[in-house]
Homo-oligomer: A and B are copies of this chain.
Amino acid sequence: MTRHDCLARDAVDALSPLRALFALDRLDAEGIVYLDGNSLGVLPRATPDRVREVVASEWGVGLIRSWNAAGWITLSQRIGDKIARLVGAGPGELVVADSTSINLFKVLSAAISMAKTDTPSRRRIVSERSNFPTDLYIADTLAREHGFELALMDDDEVGTAVDDRLAILLLTHVNYRTGRMHRMAEVSRAAHAAGALMVWDLAHSAGAVPVDLRASGVVDDAGDFAVGCGYKYLNGGPGAPGFAWAHPRHTARMDREQWRQPLSGWLGHAAPFEFTADYRPAPGMSRFICGTPPMLSLAALECGVDTVLAADAHGGITALRRKSVALTDVFIELVEWRCRGHGLRVVTPRDVTVRGSQVALAHDTGAYAMVQALIARGAIGDFRAPDILRFGFTPLYTRFVDVWDAVDRLRQILETGEWREPRFNVRAAVT
C-alpha cells in the first residue's frame, strides 16, 4: 500500500462530498490531520452562521419573543427527533438536555425505580471496570443511595454476571479507551432473558456506528434506556448538550404512574408556564428535561446532527460504517507494517463486528509523549491514561490519505525517537 493508493481510494469514495460540510480549510492548509473526532468533532461549515443568527437575531432582536417565534421552547425535542433517526428510535422518544453525565443520572434513577418495583429482590447493577469513569461515578452514587451494589467486571466477565441477581446492566456500547463494541441486540436480549434492565451509553456510537435501540421492534432485543453525547461524532461543538432515551413502553408506564425523575425542573413540567407549586411531569420523554437548555450550544448541536443526517443521501449509516471499518482496517494494517519494532500494540479488536470507529494503540512507557510528539507534527489523536494512544475516525470527513499521513508521522516520531524529548514529556492540565 502506498500514499497514492490511499488517494485513489479517496477519489472513488462516494462519501467524499460530505467532507465539504466541514470547516477544514485552515487545518488542511496547515497540513493537520485530525483523528480526534471521537473526543470533539470538527466544526461544521454551517455552524458559525447559524450560531451568529441565534446570537444576533434570535437573542439580540427577538429576545424573549424567540421562545415562541424561534421555537426555543421545543428545540430539545426537535433535535432529539433528529438524533432518534441515528439510533433507531422513534419521534418523541429522545430529548436533548444537560450533559451526558446528568442524563445518565436521570435514566439510571428511572431504571432503579423500576427495578425496585419489578424485581425487589435484586439489588445489583453490573458494569465494566473499563467503562467511562463518569458512568461508574454516577452509578456508584445512585447505588449507594438506593441500597444497590455496583459490581464492576472485566469485559469478558460481563456475560457471566447476567444472572438472577442482576437488576440493571449498564454498558457503554463502544468503549472510550479500547474502541471495543458490544453486540447491542445480543447483550440486551441476554439482560432481558435474565429479567434485568439494559442501559446503554452511546457516547462513542451515535453518528459513528449503526445503532438500533428499538431493535426494529423486537422488544426483547431492544434497550430500556440510553444516553449519549453531542460533541463527539455528532459534531455539536465543545460541551454540546447530551441526550436521553427511554423505550416507549417505559415512558407509557411513567405516564400512567406519573413518575418523576429526580431532576424535576420547570421545563420538564406538564405545563411549565403555569408556574404551579406542584410538580406534574411532562408526558413521555419531555419529563427528562430539567432547566432551560443552553440555546447557543443547542443550535450548534443541531448543525452537527444535520451533518450526519446529510449522509442519508449518500448511503446513510451503512455507508458511513463501511467507510469507518475500511479506515480503521487501513490504519491497523499500516501501523503494524510501518511502525513495527517500537513496542506499540493494537488494543482495538481485529474483528470488525466488535470494533467501533476508533483504534487504540498501547505503549508501556511512551504513550503520552508519543501523542504530544505526533500533535507537534500535526497529527492529532489523544492520550488516555495510563498507556493508550487513541485515534478516532469520522467517516464524514476523515480521508484514507489522512490515515496514511498520520501513520507516516507516527513512524517518523518513532524512528527519530523525538518523542523522548523532554518537551513532549511534560504533562499539561489536560492530557
* Among listed A48-56, A166-174, A352-360, interface-contacting one: A48-56
Q: Does A343 have its Cβ within 8 Å of any Cβ on chain B?
A: no
Neighbouring B residues of A74 by C-beta, 8 Å = 429
Question: Is A64 a contact of B98 with CB atoms below 8 Å?
Answer: no
Question: Is B294 a contact of A137 with CB atoms below 8 Å?
Answer: no
Neighbouring B residues of A297 by C-beta, 8 Å = 239, 294-297
Q: Does A134 have its Cβ within 8 Å of any Cβ on chain B?
A: yes
Neighbouring B residues of A210 by C-beta, 8 Å = none
Question: Is A134 a contact of B265 with CB atoms below 8 Å?
Answer: yes
Shortest distance from the beta carbon of A125 to any chain B beta carbon, whole Å: 14
Question: Is A295 a contact of B237 with CB atoms below 8 Å?
Answer: yes
A142 to B105, CA, bound (A): 14
Q: What per-residue 1/0 map shows which CB atoms of A134-148 lie under 8 Å from chain B? A: 101110111001000
Interface residues of A in 79-114 (CB under 8 A from B): 98-102, 105
A145 to B137, CA, bound (A): 20
Q: Does A284 have its Cβ within 8 Å of any Cβ on chain B?
A: no
Q: Does A256 have its Cβ within 8 Å of any Cβ on chain B?
A: no
Question: Is A269 a contact of B99 with CB atoms below 8 Å?
Answer: no
Instruction: Report the contact-size class of chain A (Cβ under 8 Å from the partner).
Output: 35 or more
* Among listed A317-325, A377-385, A414-422, interface-contacting one: A377-385
Question: Is A238 a contact of B382 with CB atoms below 8 Å?
Answer: no
Question: Is B99 a contact of A242 with CB atoms below 8 Å?
Answer: no
Question: Is B428 a contact of A68 with CB atoms below 8 Å?
Answer: yes
Neighbouring B residues of A242 by C-beta, 8 Å = 291
* Among listed A35-43, A178-186, A399-407, interface-contacting one: A35-43
Interface residues of A in 334-369 (CB under 8 A from B): none
Q: Does A331 have its Cβ within 8 Å of any Cβ on chain B?
A: no
Question: Is A266 a contact of B382 with CB atoms below 8 Å?
Answer: no
6 closest Cβ pairs, A-B complex: A99-B291, A294-B297, A101-B291, A101-B265, A238-B295, A43-B60
- Given A73-B430, A102-B263, A239-B293, output 5 extra A-B contacts at Cβ < 8 Å: A42-B63, A51-B55, A99-B293, A137-B264, A241-B294
